Structure 1
Amino acid sequence: MLLSNSLTPGAAAIGGKAAGLFRLRQLGLAVPPFAVLPADAFASLLSALPAASDADLDARQASLLAYEPTPEDRTALQVQLAGWDFPARPVAVRSSVADEDGAGHSFAGLMDSFLNLTTEDEIWAAVARCAASAYSVRARAYRRQRGLPLTARPAVVVQAQVAARTSGVLFSTWPEYPVEMTIHALWGFGEALVSGAQQPDEFYLRKATGELTHQQLADKAQRLAFVPGAAGLHQAPVAAHEQLAPCLSPAELTQLHTLGQQLETALGGPQDVEFVVDEADRLWVVQARPITQPIPELLVLDNSNIQESYCGVTTPLTFSFARRAYATVYRQTMRALGVPAAEVEAHEPVVTQLLALVQGRIYYHINHWYRGLLLLPSFQQNKADMERMMGLEEPVDFVQPPRRSRLEQLRSAPRLAANLLRLLAAFAGLRRAVPAFHARLAAAYQRFYTLPLAQLSGAQLMTEKSRLDQELLSHWTTPIINDFRVMMANGRALRNLRAAGVAEPEDLLRRYLASDQQLASVQPVHRLLALARQAHTYPGLPELIQALPADVAGQVAASYPQFEQAARQFMEEFGDRTVGELKLETATMRTQPRIFYQYLRNLVAVPPADPAANPSGISPSAAADIEALLNRLPRLRRWALIRSLTGLQEAIRHREALRLERTRLFGMYRSLYRAAGERLTQAGRLFQSEDVFMLTENEIAEALTGTPATPAPALPSPAPGIWLSPPPAHTTDLSALAAARQQEFTRYEQLAVPARVTVPAAPVRTLPAAARETNGVLRGTGCYPGVAEGEALVVRRPEDDLNVAGKIVCALRTDPGWATLFPACRAVAIEKGSSLSHSVIILRELGIPTIINVPGLTQQLQSGQRLVLDGQAGTLQLLPATPPLAENPSALSASHA
């Protein structure tokens, strides 16, 4: 019946912990030798006993306590012990219930373990008590809360005990910040860590590299130690020079990082690993089980590049339009690359979330841009090229191509090759496609500005919007194909320059491209300079422009009609080009001609000289450097470099010309929506026409046509102030809705927002004690998110009041014995503890907002005080003694995120 670690368990019911040990052995890891008594060893004690009531469960527990091993099991264990150098080397007895250590239920610390056993009688007594603990009160409470059967099937592990120099727990993925793994460890045996009795050292490593990003060292004055001849473990002093020293060396942290990566890959997901380092500095793995807390995907939002187009706070209308435009264009691109329709459909969650709005600023949703690249071959190269184009200072490493077998790679190779060929063919066709695109847009542009927008009905305005969607936005493949070409050509040029021995290829390439006078983006500047020079040929006109009266456009038209005609022609051609031109709410030269004269005023003060043309489009210094470089290259390398540089320059010229067309398209939508704002204001639906920008596209369409729009379901906000999709309207009163959003977005104007935002946010590491309490706020380490408001219950000793129902429990420490109390708590704050202790693991499983390591928590608070606990921010806010609506039960709220 007794199974040794050298055997295979077969069909025996050995429970989760024992099964995990067998898997670890199969992976070739150092696991202390063990033997297992499977559930069948105890089945006869339970078979005749019901499990309908607590009295029945008490009877099952009593029956297991009376367990006696068979003579065969005694003999088999004696054989094992002899090979383990027993009793010189003690053993441990640990539980292994059938549903323990599973993907959804850890049972962390709920069953009993027994260490430092040195006699056979102690071992067999511990086996009985360990099996019986499967029916303990706390184990039953956990089963009931988790909806598990009450009929536990215990198995028991007997394992050689390692003489622990250091013990710890490794989370291969840290749920609070999934780009890190975390290790908590202390001197001696680990029971003091998992029980929460002692503060451990904490180490946080970047998963991708193993780099130590943060460590927090505890004052480790005591350790649990094995004392020869004494039962159990005992407190022993730690040497003075080790009390504040890290209990793991850099080499051991590297070893543990490798172990965490290996186990996560081999076992199919993030792992909670218990380990021991012995006196000979050897690493032993004692246990590995799935992390039961859901691991959120790290959401990375970055606006390093897109802020050039959407600077500052952007309105809901612009975000909803830009999000739809990006999705429309991306779908076209996938179709152009020959991606099957089913796969395009499967990528819809990615395509519709390429952008996000963070406190009013538009960001790239980086995760989804990377996932889009997975459809193309050479992911790593394209990823690096895209990061360079987007200006990302820190790459994202957790989006990677799926690992595929050689057979899967062979099967997918033809399709990826076909995608690449289509892309290259599309690049080759750009010389024809770009002029055709310009012609299409020019025709639509001319037609659109003949429309009497102010006279169109709401339905007619939406018809014109649909026409723009169908005729132009739905045929936007050419610009996006060219953007791919720029991205890949830029990467190729840099690689060729680097291969040619250029020490700073980015600098040389930047100088090579910097002064290209043929770029479309430069043309408005030249035209404006020419108009400034022309203005000086009209007496009095420069002075009028510099004075800039409110009706400057009308005065110029009246007094200088010839110049006004040239200015109007400029505005018709470039009137949508302005700072913030892709934001629909931006006033442009087309909507406010005075803006044109504001720009011109800066140039007429001093007559600008006619700049000398640079027909080559290359700065002289860059041209000389390139020429010198080419002269020393072999012919083939020289040809490749010239081809990559000229190809990149051509692609950038196309890009700038096509971006001007994008500006014009956005200008047409801007004109439509401004007309829509006027229409809704005339109908009394808005206070003023500018309020239209506080609505989304779907809200405007519904208001103008009376037909409810059918948008994709709005996505929940991953954090306050972040929109992944336009939120649903909370009222049909458009004026009230616009006013509420205006207030919200005005508030955002005052906030400083970083270029990169992650959800979950990078954790705020522990603050110095002096900074922990400010303005009635206590600060600790958030362990599980959620906001709860309620009455505090301060627990300093086990004999204190434990009426926890509906209260925010503030405890000095917790241990797994609290499992019977946790489900009734509203939230939990712990003064001292490890986020990897068994009790905190259970709190996370139960979804209860939790904070740990709050200095002075139980001294500064009293039971009955009212608090707001924020498990994400790690804060406790003390509320006034008599809050408003104190008698109203609805005023008390808790949300378990």
Structure 2
Amino acid sequence: MKPIRLSEIDSSMIDLVGGKAAGLGEMIKAGERVPDGFCLTVEAYLSRDLPEKEVIDAYQRLGGGRVSVRSSATAEDLPDASFAGQQDTFLDIDGPASLVEAIHKCWRSLHSDRAVAYRAAAGIDDAAMAVVIQRMIDPATAGVLFTANPITGCRTEMIIDAARGLGTAIVDGTVVPDHYVLDHHARTGPHLPEGCLGTLELERLRDAGLRLQRHFGSPQDIEWAIDSDGVLWLLQSRPITTLFPLPPDTGETRLYLEFGHIQGMLRPCTPMGVSLLKAGSALWFRAHGVRGDARDPLPRLVPIGGRLYFDLTDFVRNKAMRKRLSTSLQVYGPRVQGAVEHMLTDPRFAPRRGFPFRLSNIVRATASVAPSMVSGIVSSLARPDAARVRAYRAVEEMRRLTVPPSDSATAAERLRWVVEDSHRAIMGHGMLGLMGPLMAGILLGTAPSGLLRGVASDEDLDIVLGGMPHNVTTEMDLLLWSVAVNARQHREVFLSTPPGELVARYRAGELPDIGMAGFLDRYGMRAAAEIDVGMPRWDEDPAPLFATIANYLRVEDPAQSPDRRFHQAAQNAEAMIETLSRRTRRRRPIRGRIATFLMRRSRKLTGLREIGKFAWLPAIQASRRELLRIGDDLVSRGLLETRDDIMFLTLDEARTAVHDATDHRRTVAARRADHRRELRRSTVPGALLSDGTDVEALVPPAPAEDGTLTGMAGAAGQATGKARVIRDPAGAYIEPGEILVAPTTDPGWTPLFLTTAGLVTETGSPVAHGPTVAREYGIPAVICVRNATHEITTGQLITIDGTAGTVRIVDED
């Protein structure tokens, strides 16, 4: 338990001295000027035995006098958790008795409410406390330096906040500091406003920041001080933990558009999920004559931070396409649309010659797909009922033809099947036959708005789309409601038993038969973030379903039962069609007849809009089962730790493990850690530059009224109720009549819609799953509300207007 001088510490000792001391030791070894000091290791904290004599001796060797006493927890200043300000720091400690008392206070701060809550949010079970004691510096000026812009994420900008005196005033927020933005690469004096730092001092800080970033290998958050003699002291350096990961380095500035939130998916995708998605796409491209890079058939679909981004650069730079981008991006919502429009004025994205794709590929794909697509749309419009029957039959046929290898197959044979055969049924005529009715339904759902402009409001048109039949997701939700109805006679069992325990009892055959087996047989392939093969399906873990059934059992008002609400929405839709028909025919007879025809046809086909993705799910489920069996084989050979580790490999890496016995355990461990960190990320940039800039942060926010959050209309109507903020649907609890506030939603969330009074999401699109299903249930929805899950808290009374796209926090005083 002997104190250790900071100059004797390096990063390998973090478990003994904590993150702060390890960082200080590394800075000293790198040749930086750091106040002299020593560290009382975690051994003293763990034994609760303060070696007072040794500490006082070390203090005297330091010269006595005024010192700072700072926490250095083992879970502090880590790459994915800074713990900034969570434990206590004590300045101007003078004398042995005061030093001993300050150390005890530091130890106690490890278990303060804020520190415990921070560790829980970061997924850290426990930590131990070392303590750093350093000579006090009397700063003339002090502050903080970020080697990357923490607001925009830009890695080529450096931010410096400075103030006279101690830097703690900046950290505490008790002063307004002088603010400087520096370019990493500008070597001339910056043209900055007058302040407490001159050009020479800014240059010295920039150089120090770049040195520390190179030494630690990542952007740094640095505390510094300049004393009365003009000497620069570095007091701390830790990683900036909030930055979104950088896109791949391509050597030029590129613009990426987040793709997942259109599908209601903001959680990170597993490496195998991305790999299988690209492999399936490669099969589709080959089947339709599209030629490209066999190693990466979707080079513009780039995983960044586990999320799927589309490289929009070449489309922004194309003269013809850039003019149409704004309109086409309306489905992404106003924030992303505005961010891309902002970049159109950036000289780095000035127009260039050439197309962003091979014209020969477009010609071949069009020739392959267009005839059957056009024929399918026309025949669907003519005979919608027959087209819908064909679509459902095609889904069942694709499911029937997805036949995995036999039980005796080897791991190599299973992997070959996943790569070459798992998606083969989807590539045939069945999917093309399915796309005709699907596209006809989408066209029918949107066409009436143009014909009825000036006659029907957006709210009227939303009502027309309510209670839409033949939607596989709605049918799934209503079937789960019927399962909950079966559970009513066992209400207390399902309400009082945790979902995990209900799963165990269900597996053991100890639960009453409420129809769960039949539900799972039909929909067990579904899950939240279901396009990712790395996600467990409901047939593997039905705990979310049991949690939702418990929510359904809390519905006591018969008028609020989901089947009645859906039926009422359907009746309202039919009544609105009649109203609009009469209103339009009086003013525009021909257009009115056409609009009425399209609206009635829409009721027969628009519900099919989700059937295309639904048709892919059996292939994803079957692939997952085979990959897990391959994982079992690799575990038995000592190449993986657990069977689902295979989801953190790509298909190519799985091939090297199966055929060459390559050990990927270290790779998997690193990727799992990255995945866990990204799961905790609460916001994801909708538009991202290759230097890490969140483009939305560059666009000034629109003015808003006090207490009102502005988003985008998702589903018409108004609702007032208590908010329920939910970030993960697994095991989520929501009372009937509450308003669901979520980062985003996909089909795995929609069972919650049956008891909610309204929906608010941070991202999304009017055509995404969440608002589509909300419209079908007659539930108002507001989407694209920035930081909704942080601005709104569970229990707050809110009023949402799904037509205006606003959320108002109601003052209950």
Regarding TM over 0.5, the answer is no
State the TM-score bracket (shorter-chain normalisation). 0.3 to 0.5
> Normalising by the residue count of structure 2, what TM-score does the alignment of the two structures yield?
0.45
> Normalising by the residue count of structure 1, what TM-score does the alignment of the two structures yield?
0.41
